[in-house]
Amino acid sequence: MQDRKPQQIARELALLSLSQLPVNPKKLTEEHLPKLVLATVRTLRTEVQDTLDNAAAELQRSNDRLLTSQTRASDMNTARTMLQEAITYTQTAINQLGAAVEFPELIQLANQDREVGRYAIQIVKTVNEHRIFIDEQISAALVDWQVNRLAQIDRDILRIAVAEMGFLNLPDSVAINEAVVLAKRYSGDEGHRFINGVLRRFTEQKKLPSVLS
């Protein structure tokens, strides 16, 4: 694992924990983090397997189309598209597996550094307590899209960034950069570009007038 600051590790732990929140997250403490992250590991393992299964299916479909196409241009183009989809599925799975390998070290670092655990829980609580407001701000920055239609990992990355900008006093540029880093680790190939665009629109909109004043 590359050397990262406590807040960066905390941010990643918060992202992994958001999908596993208990009924009453207000009672969360640093001691709950390992259990939340472990639950995420189990969920992510299933997601990785599903992604790899989808990739295998697309590869098989692409191969079948190539074998039966008799070199027709339309079938060749379709086969190429299927192959590209298979590659995308595989790359996403590889990204997720690469991140999952570091989970035990993340938990260890959280246990060793109290600042990591405290900030991770602070992010989780902030996102939960202000979720309606945060989602409204994200929705306003989306173009022809809705928050509830976003992939969960992308939605949670956006929520964390808006929460940090609006409630935890993190500078806009830093929050955006950190969100892009998370997206590169956990989202698809286009995820970090999408998240960067949404957050930049959000920062532009909140200046006229400030939505967080």
Longest distance between any two alpha carbons in the chain, whole Å: 64
26-60 pLDDT per residue, tens: 666 667 766 776 676 666 666 666 766 766 776 66
Tokens of 147: 């928050």
97-146 pLDDT per residue, tens: 666 556 556 666 656 667 787 888 889 889 988 989 999 999 999 977 77
Q: Does position 205 have pLDDT exceeding 60, yes or no?
A: yes
